[in-house]
Amino acid sequence: MQEGRTIKVGVLGATGTVGQRFITLLSAHPWFVIDALGASSRSAGKPYAKAVKWKQSTPIPSAVREVGVVECVPEHFKDCAIVFSGLDADVAGDIEAAFRSADLAVFSNSKNFRKDPHVPLIVPYANPAHFAIIPQQQALQSPPLKKGFIVTNANCSTTAVVIPLTALERAFGPIESMLVTTMQAISGAGYPGVPSLDILDNIVPYIGGEEEKLEWETLKILGGIAEGDDGVKAFDMHARHPLRVSASCNRVPVIDGHTECVSVRFARRPPPSPQQVREALAAFTPDAQTIGCPSAPRHTIVVHEEADRPQPRLDRYYQDGASVSVGRVRQCPVLDIKFVVLGNNVSIGAATSSILNAEIAVLKGIVVTK
């Protein structure tokens, strides 16, 4: 990336909560310049400030206040090298597919293409090697594409736990099994979210589809790419090892920040000690840091020694929410090691991951910017 060069980007679902977070982050980005803001036909034609019900803790960036909102159709985004999607799943599938067919690079926060065997599901600190399947994704389209593709980031609860899992597998080899219990913030349900009479003074021990997503997404992210007899590559969730995951997901009365209690069993015997685990987590340095992604934090995993940390209210916006916090690392009497991880679901669990994925793709020459 040449110094001083800018890349035009667009945002789909710009008036939603994830779209707002995209805009907040992109407005201060050193490379990416917002060129188009897409929303529903009800918002099209209005200045962004009048179309949006702003829910961020910072004001609407001045650079986008008067930008006219357009419908989510490719012709309005033809000058964009990258399109970020914060669309609701109800509409994201057809729209994102149309943008890919128009030879546009789409980085999506939506779930619609996560299970597609030719679409990479990428947590930027965990599996950027999965970008390798993009040329095949392009070749399988009709007609084949030169620049267009879809990349998805993971569900917010999956992202938080996969980052320390990646660090531990890099240091100590495969993890055989994991038990995870999540305490997920209400912002993860979008706006207007969970009714107050359901969540105040309460914990809801069910989030529709969440446990299944956390279980299979973890396998796809930590798995590999296998080639079939016909020469076509696809993601194989068990290509590297038969990891078993059991998840229990709960909604709790916290605004931002998913807290997860995790127990893991390693394949290696004897397993690492709690102190070895702490050191490995603190030393973890992913590609996003080493290749110079501007949104990468200084410390990907912040390890807490205090007995009562991490806590959402204290730790969720450290490093602008681009890292995860891990604490209470200790022996597990059932498996091997247990710990608590906190991830900011609206930052690294959503928009920040998509932006980091795009930064990696730019630096690796996957995004065509000319």
Q: What is the mean pLDDT of each run of 10 residues along the chain (370 residues)?
A: 80 95 96 97 95 94 96 97 96 97 97 95 97 96 96 97 98 96 95 93 97 96 84 73 91 97 97 98 97 97 97 96 98 98 96 98 91
Q: What is the pLDDT of residue 227?
A: 79
Residue 332: active-site member: no
From the list 80, 156, 249, 293, the catalytic residue is 156
Q: What is the pLDDT of residue 235?
A: 82
Q: What is the pLDDT of residue 246?
A: 98
**Statement to judge: residues 245 and 138 lie in one domain:** no
From the list 76, 118, 130, 258, the catalytic residue is 258
**Statement to judge: residues 141 and 228 lie in one domain:** no
Q: Which two tokens stand for residue 100?
A: 């890919």
Domain that holds residue 335: 156-344
Q: Look up the pTM and report it.
A: 0.95
Torsion of CA 178, 246, 150, 321, to 10 degrees: -60
Domain harbouring 277, CATH code? 3.30.360.10
Residue 370 located in a structural domain: no
Q: For residue 132, report the phi and psi dihedrals to the nearest 5 degrees.
A: -60, -20
**Statement to judge: residues 273 and 310 lie in one domain:** yes
Domain harbouring 80, CATH code? 3.40.50.720
Residue 156: active-site member: yes
Amino acid at 178: M
| Measured distance between the N- and C-terminal CA atoms of the chain, rounded to whole angstroms | 12
Beta strand pairing status for 7-12 and 82-85?
parallel
**Statement to judge: residues 187 and 327 lie in one domain:** yes
**Statement to judge: residues 65 and 128 lie in one domain:** yes
Cα–Cα distance for residue pair 165/222, rounded to 1 Å:
9
CA atoms lying within 13 Å on the CB side of residue 333: 0
**Statement to judge: residues 98 and 168 lie in one domain:** no
On average, the pLDDT of the chain sits at: 95
Residue 63 located in a structural domain: yes
